[in-house]
Structure 1
Amino acid sequence: MPPAPNPTAKPYFYYGHRRPSQNRPVVRGGLLTNRRSHPIPNKPTAAPTAATNFLQWDPHAPAPASPPPPSSVPASLRRLSPLARFLLDSLLRHRRWGPPLLSDLSKLRRITPHLLTELLRHQPPPHLPPDLLLRLFHHASRQKGFRHTFASYNALAYALHRSNLHRSADRVPDLMLSLGNLRPTEKQLEILVRFHSDAGRGLRLYHVYSRMRGSAFNIKPRIFLYNRILDGLVKTGHLDLALKVFDNMNADGVQLEPITFTILAKGFCKEGRVEEAIEILERMRGEVCRPDVFAYTAMVKVLTETGNFDGCLRVWDEMARDGVEADVMAYTTMVSGLCRDGRVDRAEQLFREMKGREGMVIDRGVYGSLVEGFVRGGKVEDGCRVLKEMVADGYRPDLGIYDCLIRGLCEDGRVDKAYKLFQVLVSEGLTPSLETVTPFLVAHVDAEDMDRFFKLVDRIEELHLPTMDHLDNFFRAFVGKGERELRGLEVFEALKGKGYHSVSIYNTLIDGLHKNNINNKALLLFDEMKGLKNLELGSSTYNLIIPCYVDSGDIREACACYNKMKELTWIPSVTAYCSLVKGLCKMGEIDAAITLVKDCLGNVTSGPMEFKYTLTVLNACRSRDPEKVVGVLDEMVEEGYLLEDIIYCAVIHGFCKHASSVEARKVLVVMKSRNLLTEADFIVYEEMLNEHLKKTTASLVISGLKFFGLESKLKLISSTY
C-alpha cells in the first residue's frame, strides 16, 4: 500500500501560490503578496503582581502611560479590509487612470459593491485626485452582472462631498436613474439636504429639494426631513423659500409637528417680523398644541441675538398670556439681553421674579449681567448691592465681576473703595488682569498722584505680574480717552527714568499725538526711538510715523521711511500708502504717486476704492475720450466717493501719456462747471498740468538723446550754462 501524501506539501494559499487558472489568477504586488503562516510567538508569562495596598494609594499620582500600539499601519488603514487596502495602495501608487492601474485591478477576480462602498467611505488622502474614485466607480459598473447598492451610491455622494464637488454629489440620484437598477428614495434626499444644511448653502438645498420633489423623482419627504429642510433654509436667511416649503407640506397633507411651527417662528423673529411669529404660534395652538416653554425660549434667544428687545418683551408678554411658565434659560436670556440694552430696571424686575420662583437655580452669569448693566448705566452703588446679595446667596464672584465694579468705582472717583475690592480679589486667590489694574493707574494719573501710581507699579511687580504689559494697556486706555496725550507724555518721561519703556508705548503715544496734530512731539519720540539700541523698530512704527512726516510737510523723510520698509521687505499699511500718495500729489510728483497706487493695490488685499478708481481713470484715458473719463468720475460721485487729488492726478497723467493736455483740461473744465471743483483748485490743477507736461516733454527729450547717443553734447551744453 503506497504511503499517504504529506498534507503540508500540497500547495496552499498560506504556504505558496495556487496553480493559476482562468478564474483564479495569482495576486502579486500590493498588500496581499506571498502570504505565509507565521508561528504565533509564545507570550512571556507576566510576573505576579503584588497585592495593592489601598492605605498607601495616592489619588493625585499620575496614571502610568499606556504603551503605543505595536502596529505601524495608520488606524484609518487598519479599519479597511485587505482587498480595500490593496485597491487604495494601487490608487496611491499610480495616481492616474491607465493601463498600470487596470493591470492591478485585473488581479482581483471582481470588485464587489461592498468592497467599492468600503473604499469610497474611507477618507482619502488630500493628494488623491477625486476623479480616480469616479473612474473606479464606473469601472465597477461595467462588470458583467454588477449591480450597485444603495450603500455604494451613498458612499459616492459622501466622497464627492468631501472633495468639494457638491454639484456632482447632487447628480448621484440622476446616476441611479440612468443605471436603472435602483430608484432614489428619501434617504438620498436626506443625505444631500444634510450636506448643504451643514455647509450653509441654503439656495443649493432648496434646488435639491425642488428637483427631488419634481416629476422625475416624485419623492414626498416625511415630516422629520421637512423640518430639517425648513431649519436649513431659516438658518441661512431664506425665510421666503422656507414658507414655500411649508406650503408644499400643507399641499402634501403632512401631519405637522410643534417643532415645525417653532422653526418658522424663529425665522420670523430673525427677520424682525414679530407679529407674524405670534400668528404662526396662534396657528400652532389651533392645529397641533399649545406652544411650550422651549418654543418661547428659542424665539427670545433669536430676538436677543438680533438686538430686537422690544420684540423680546412682546414675546414675553405673549408667553405670560398663554400661561406658560418661563424656565431658567428663558429668564437668563431675557435678563442678560435687557442688561446689554441698558434696560436694567426691567431686567432687575425679572431677576426678582426669578428669585421668587421655587426650585430655580440662578446662574452666576445673571448676577454678572446685572452688575455690568448697573455699572454701565452709572449706578455703581446698585452694582455693589447686587454683589453683596450674590455673596449672601452663596455664590463666589468671578474676576469679571470684580473688574467691572473696580472700573466703575474708579471712574466715579471712589478709588479707596475700589482698593478694598482689589484686596478682596487678591485674598481670594484670583490673579488680577489688565482690566483690574488699568483703572487704578488711570485714576492716579488723573488725580496727579504719581506717588500712588508708582506704588501700584511696585505692587504689580510684587505680585509677579507682567509689568510692561500692564503699562502698555494703561497707555492705550489713557491716551485714547480725551486729549490726554501731553499728560501721558509726562508720565512716560517719569517711567523712562525708572527703566520702563517699550516699542508698544512709543507707538501708542506717537499715534495719539498724531491724531491730535501734535506732530513735532511725535517726531521727537521717533528720533528718540532710533537712538535707543535696545529697541527694535518694527513695521508698525514706520506705518505710524509716515503720516506724521506727511502732515508736517516733510515728504522726503516720509519717502525715506517708505524706502526703509521696502528694503526690509515690509508692506506698509493702507493708511501709510494713502497719506504718502496725498503728500506726493500736493508736491506735484504725479508719477511717484501713481507708482505708489499700483504698489499698494499689488501688496494689500483690500485697497481703498479711490486707488481702484485711479486705475480705472488711467484705463479710460487710453481711449483719448474726455467724456469717458467724466463718466468714471460721475460714477464715483454717485457711489459716494470723494474726488481726491490722486483722481485728478490720474487724469493729468493719463492724458499726458496717451493723448495731450487739451483733453485733461477739458475734464477739469467740466468738473468746474458742475461745481465739483472750486476756482482755486482748478488753478492749482492747471498749474500742475503744465508742470507735469514740461516734465514729460523733458523726459522724452532726454530719452531721445540717450537713444541717439548724444549724452555728451547734453553734458557740454549744461556745463557751458
Structure 2
Amino acid sequence: MPGRGSCEFNCHRMRSNLNIFYERKRTIKDEKLIYASLYLERQPEPPVEDENDGKVEFSGDSLFFMNQPVNVKSWRPHEGRKRSSFGNEHYTADKKPSRFCRFLLLVFRVHCATFGHPISLEIISCRRVTITWHVQVLVLKVESDPKIASKFFAWAGKQKGFRHNFASYNAFAYCLNRLNRFRSADQVIELMNLQGKRPSEKQFEILIRMHSDKGRGIRVWYVYQKMRKFGVKARVFLYNRVMDALVKTGHLDLAMSVYGDFRADGLVEESMTFMILVKGLCREGRVGEVFELLGRMRGLGFKPDVFAYTAMVRVLVSVGDLEGCLRVWEEMVGSDGVEPDAMAYTTLVTALCRGGVVERGFQLFREMKGRGFLIDRAVYGSLVEGFVADGKVGSACDVLRDLMASGYRADLSIYNSLIEGLCNANQIDKACKLFHVTVREGLNPDFTTVNPILLFYADRRLMDEFSRMLEHMQKLGLPVINDLSKFFLSFIEKGNGGKKALEVFEDLKPKGYASVVIYNILIESLHTVGEVKEALSLFEGMKSSDFKPDLSTYSNVIPCFVENGDLEEACWCYNMMTERSWVPSVSAYRSLVGRLCKIGEIDAALMLVRDCLSNVESGPMEFKYSLTILHACKSGDSEKVIEVLNEMAEQECPPGDLTYSAVISGMCNHGTIEEARKVFESIRRRSFLSEADVIVYDEFLLEHMKKKTAGLVLSGLKFFGLESKLRSKGSTLLPG
C-alpha cells in the first residue's frame, strides 16, 4: 500500500496549505464572534457515482472533506470520464455575494429607517473587516431597493481608508438603471465630478448603452449633451451608438446634428456610420440626402455592397416609397455597378407587386430568372397577387404554370388569389376546378378559398349552387355558420347591403343557415342604408324564432326604434339591457339622448349621459362637454358657460341639442332665466342657432323652470306635512 506522502492527500495538510482555520477566535466582551468559516463560499457536494467503474467520485470542492485516500490505480486516462464542474462552480461562487456582503445588506435593511450611527456600530463590531470596492460592487449588484443602495453608496464613501473608484460609480449607475431610476443614474456623472473623479468616456458609454437598449432616445441625447459639456472626446464607436439610438427612436434631426459634431471633431466616418444615417434618411423618405451621403462615402474609399443596398431598399419598402426604391436600385446597378443578388431581387419584386407596379416587378422577375437565380415561391405568389389585383388573370395563370414547371408546388394562398381573380373575371367554372384541385392536393381550403365563389353565386342569385357549396364545406369540416357571418360582412362591403343581403338570408334561413350574429349583421346593414322598417321586421322575426337577441341586437335596434318614432320601445330595449347588466353601444346612447332632448325630457337625457360616461371607456365629446357645462352653470355666470362653448368650437365640437339641454338644466338649477338667455343669444350670434330655434329653446327653458319650481314646492309641502291638509280641503293639483 503506498504511503500517504506519495499517493494520498492528507486533509489536514491541505487545510494548512490553503490557510483555512476553524478555531474559535478569542474576543473581547460584547464583541461579535467571527468564525473564519463564515467566509468559506464553497460547500461540500454529494458524492457522484461514476458510470464507468461504479466507484465514488468527488468533485473539486469535496476534497476539503475527504477522509479516504485516492487510488491512483483506478485512473484510466484512455477512457472517457466526466469533467469536474469545479471551474463553473468557482465562477458561480465568485459571482454570488459573499457572506459579509449579505450581512451588510441585512444590516442596511434593518436600520434603513435610522440610517447612520447604528449601522456603523454594527460593522465596527466586526474587527479586521474593511470595505473594499469588490464588496461595494457586489452589494450594489444584488440590492433591490434604490434608497438603500444610495445610502450604502454614500456611507461607504465616508469610511476610513476607502474612496470610490470608477468601478464603484459604474456599479452604482447600473444599480439605479436596473431599479428603473435611470434619471438618477444620469446624475452619477455630476456626483463623480463633485467628488473629484473626472468622468471618462467609459461612464458616458455605459449610460448611453443603458438608454439605447431601452429605446430612450431623448435620454441618449441628454447624456450626449452632458458629455459635450464635460469636454469628453468620444470615439467613432460611441458616436455610432448615439446616432443609431436616435435614428431607431425616430429622432433623425438630432442624429444629423450629432453627425455634424462628429465631423467637427475631425473624426473619419466608418462604413457603419454611413449606414446608420442612410437607413434613417430612407425611413424619412429623404432620398436626395441619401445619395449625398453615398457620394461622400465613395469619396472616403467606401463602396456600398449589395447587402447595404438591400438594407436601403427594405427600409424604403417599409415606408411605402417605391419611387425611392427604384432610384436606389438604379444607383446600385448603374453608378456603383453592384450585381444584385437573389435577396435584393426578391425584396424589390415583392414590394413592386404589392404596391401595384406589377409590370416592373415582372421585368425584374424575368431578369432574375435569366441570371439563373433560385427564385423563392414567395416571389411567384407576389406576382400572382399583383396580376390578380391588376385584373390580368391570364398573366397570373402563366405565372402559376411557370411555378409548376420550376418544380414548385403552389400553396393555398396562390390558389386563393387565382380563384378570386377568376371569379372577378366571371370564369366561375375554372375557379371551381381550382377549388377542387386544392381539395385533391390536401391543402385544406378555408373560408378565404370559397368566399369568392359564394359571392359570385349570391350576386347572381344562384342559390342552388350556393347551397351545394355550403354542403361541400360541411363535408370538408369547415364551420359553415361562422363562415356565413363572414360571408355576409364581405357581401355587404361589396355594396350588396340592404334588401339584397336580406333576400339571400331569406333563402338560406329555411335550410337552417342562420345565427344571432347573422341577424345582427343584417339589422345593422338595413339601418345603415335607411331600411328601418325592414330592420324592425327582421328583429320581430328573430324574437319569434329560436334565436334570442343579445347585446349587439338591442344596440342595433334602439336607433331603429328612435328613427321610427317609437321611443317607448327604444326605452324598453334599454331597460332590458340594464336588467341584464349589458352596456349599450355609443350609437344607442346617442340616439336615445338626442331624441329625449328633442322632446324636452332633459333630466332623463342627462341621466343617460352620466350612465354612458361611467360605462364606456371613451365617450363622445359632446357628452363630456355637457357635464362641463353643468359644472360651469353652478357659478350662475353666463360668461363661464360661454367660455366652455368657445372651447368646444376650438376643439371642432359644435354645440347640439344636448349642449342646449345642458345649458337649460344647469341654469334652472343654479342660475336664472336671464343668464340662460344670454348664453342662447351668444350661440345665435355665432349662427349655430336660428331665430326660430332660439324661440323653441326659450319655451323649453320656461317649461323646465316650471317643472323645477313645482318640484321644489311639492318637496316643501312634503317636508312641512302640508300635503295631507291640502288634499283634505279638496285640492286636485297635487299628484296622486
Bin for the TM-score computed over the shorter chain: 0.7 to 0.9
In the alignment, the residues of structure 2 paired with residue 146 and residue 210 of structure 1 have an alpha-carbon distance, to the nearest angstrom, of: 32
1:511 aligns with 2:511: no
CA distance in 2, matches of 1:356, 1:103: 84
Pick the aligned partner of 2:33 from 26, 39, 47: 26
Q: Deviations over 1:362-417 (max 9, x none)?
A: 23222222221221222222222222212222223222222222222223322221
Contact 2:101 2:135 survives alignment (8 Å): no
Distance 1:90 1:220 in 2: 42
**Which residue in 2 is equivalent to 1:245?**
258
Could you say what secondary structure the match of 1:501 adopts?
coil
Q: 2:427 aligns with which of 414, 419, 437?
A: 414
- What residue identity is the alignment partner of 1:382? S
Alignment partners' CA distance in 2, 1:596 and 1:91:
59
Say if 1:94 and 1:448 are closer, same or farther in 2 by CA, change over 3 A: farther
Distance 2:607 2:30 in 1: 73
* Kept after mapping to 2: 8 A contact 1:15/1:36: no
2:586 corresponds to which letter in structure 1?
Answer: V
The 10-residue stretch of structure 1 (638-647 or 252-261) with the greater mean CA deviation from structure 2: 638-647
What secondary structure is seen at the aligned counterpart in 2 of 1:272? Answer: coil
Q: CA deviation at 1:210?
A: 0.4
Contact map agreement 1:91 1:132 (CA 8 A) in 2: no
1:154 is aligned, of 156, 166, 170, to 170
| 1:18–1:26 CA contact under 8 A, matched in 2 | yes
The question of whether the paired residues in 2 share the 8 Å contact of 1:202 and 1:238 is answered with: yes
Could you tell me how far apart the structure 2 residues matched to 1:439 and 1:97 are? Answer: 72
Distance in structure 1 (CA, Å) of the matches to 2:394 and 2:441: 22
CA distance in 2, matches of 1:37, 1:224: 41
Give me the whole-angstrom Cα distance separating, in 2, the residues matched to 1:520 and 1:101. 82
Letter in 2 for 1:210: Q
For residues 78 and 437 of structure 1, the distance between their equivalents in structure 2, rounded to whole angstroms, comes to 64
Change (3 A) 1:283 1:533: same
Unaligned residue ranges in structure 2 (runs of 5+): 1-11, 55-91
Mapping of 1:421-460 within 5 angstroms?
421-460=434-473
1:219 aligns with one of 232, 235, 239: 232
Alignment of 1:620-699 (within 5 A): 620-699=632-711
Partner residue of 1:539 out of 551, 569, 590: 551
Query: Which whole-Å CA distance do the structure 2 matches of 1:144 and 1:651 have between them?
Result: 74
Distance change in 2, residues 1:33/1:266 (3 Å): closer
1:163 corresponding residue in structure 2 = 179
Shift of 1:206: 0.9
For 1:199, the aligned partner's letter is K
Structure 1 residues 419 and 701: CA distance shift in structure 2, 3 A: same
Give 1:244 shift.
1.4
From 461, 469, 478, give the equivalent of 2:491. Answer: 478
Shift of 1:113: 3.0
Mapped partners of 1:676, 1:36: distance in 2: 82
1:327 aligns with 2:341: yes
Aligned residues: 676
SS, match of residue 302 in structure 2: coil
Change (3 A) 1:185 1:540: farther
The residue that corresponds to 2:605 in the other structure is 593
Give the match's secondary structure for 1:480. Answer: helix
Sort the Cα spacing of 1:326 and 1:521 in 2 relative to 1 into closer, same or farther, 3 A.
same
Instruction: Give the match for residue 117 of structure 1.
Output: 137
* 1:420 to 1:42, Cα distance in 2 relative to 1, 3 A: same
**Equivalent residue letter for 1:590:** I
Q: 1-side partners of 2:277 and 2:707: how far apart? A: 68
Of 359, 384, 395, the residue aligned with 1:345 is: 359
Query: For the Cα contact (< 8 Å) 1:266–1:299, is it kept in 2?
Result: yes
Cα distance change, pair 42–209 in 1 and its aligned pair in 2 (3 A) = closer
Deviation larger for 133-142 or 100-109: 100-109
Q: Distance between the aligned counterparts of 1:39 and 1:266, measured in 2? A: 56
Q: Alpha carbons of 1:39 and 1:313: their partners in 2 closer, same or farther (altered >3 Å)?
A: closer
Aligned equivalents of 1:714, 1:408: Cα separation in 2 = 83
Summarize the Cα distance change of 1:576–1:719 in structure 2 as closer, same or farther, 3 Å threshold: closer
State the alpha-carbon separation in 1 of the partners of residues 42 and 175 from structure 2.
36
Per-residue CA distance 1:5-27 (angstroms, 9 max, x = gap): xx99x9x9997965556998337
Q: In the TM superposition, what whole-angstrom CA distance separates every residue of 1:541-563 from its partner, at most 9, and x where no partner exists?
A: 33333333333333333334334
Inter-partner Cα distance in structure 2 for 1:609 and 1:228? 44
In the alignment, which residue of structure 2 is the partner of 1:270?
Answer: 283
Deviates more, 1:569-578 or 1:222-231: 569-578
Aligned positions of 1:32-181 closer than 5 A: 80-83=96-99, 86=102, 90=106, 97-98=113-114, 109-110=129-130, 112-122=132-142, 129-180=145-196
What code does the residue aligned with 1:162 have? R
Alignment match, 2:85 = none
The answer to whether the Cα contact below 8 Å between 2:596 and 2:604 also exists between their aligned partners in 1 is yes
Q: Tell me the equivalent position of 1:312.
A: 325
CA deviation vs aligned residue, 1:79-100 (integer Å, no higher than 9, x gap): 6345388359849986954579
Residues in 2 aligned to 1:406 and 1:280: alpha-carbon distance in whole angstroms = 47
Moved more, 599-608 or 461-470: 599-608
Larger Rg computed on CA atoms: 2
Preserved CA contact (<8 Å) 2:297 2:303: yes
Letter in 2 for 1:176: M
Distance 1:40 1:319 in 2: 63
Q: Distance in 1 between matches of 2:681 and 2:93?
A: 75
Per-residue deviation, residues 312-361 of structure 1 (Å, max 9, x unmatched) = 22222222331222333332232222222211112212222222224x33
1:196 is aligned to 2:208 = no
Distance in 2 (CA, whole Å) between partners of 1:346 and 1:383 is 15
Tell me what 2:515 maps to. 502
Q: Following the alignment from structure 2 to structure 1, what is the Cα–Cα distance between the partners of residues 182 and 34?
A: 37
Q: Residues 26 and 107 of structure 1 are in contact (CA less than 8 Å); yes or no, is this contact kept in structure 2?
A: no
What do the CA deviations read for 1:654-698 (whole angstroms, capped 9, x no partner)?
222221122222222232233222344333323322222222222
> What is the CA–CA distance in structure 1 between the aligned matches of 2:597 and 2:528, rounded to whole Å?
22
Deviations 1:83-133 (A, max 9, x none): 3883598499869545798888778745543344334444x7xxx543233
Deviations 1:447-503 (A, max 9, x none): 222222222222222222222322222122123331333333343344443434333
The percent of aligned pairs where both chains have the same amino acid is 51
d(CA) in 1 for partners of 2:98 and 2:272?
46
Alpha carbons of structure 1 residues 39 and 256: separation in structure 2 relative to 1, 3 Å: closer
RMSD over equivalenced CA pairs, Å: 3.7
Judged with a 3 Å threshold, the aligned counterparts in structure 2 of structure 1 residues 700 and 200 are, in CA distance, closer, same or farther, namely farther
Q: Secondary structure at the match of 1:146?
A: coil
User: Structure 2 length normalisation: TM-score?
Assistant: 0.82
Judging changes above 3 Å, is the alpha-carbon distance between structure 1 residues 698 and 121 closer, same or farther for their aligned structure 2 residues?
same
1:184 maps onto 2:199 in alignment: yes
Write out per-residue CA displacement over residues 419-458 of structure 1, whole angstroms, 9 at most, x where no aligned residue. 2222222222222222112222222222222222222222
Tell me if structure 1 keeps the 8 A contact 2:243–2:277: yes
Q: Distance in 2 between matches of 1:590 and 1:36?
A: 78
Q: Deviations over 1:506-543 (max 9, x none)?
A: 222222122122233333444455556675x5433333
Q: Secondary structure at the match of 2:603?
A: helix
Choose which of 623, 628, 637 in structure 2 pairs with 1:611.
623
Asked if 1 retains the 8 angstrom alpha-carbon contact of 2:497 and 2:526, the reply is: no
Q: Deviations over 1:598-630 (max 9, x none)?
A: 333333332222223223333333343434433
What's the secondary structure of 1:254's corresponding residue? coil
Secondary structure of residue in 2 paired with 1:544? helix
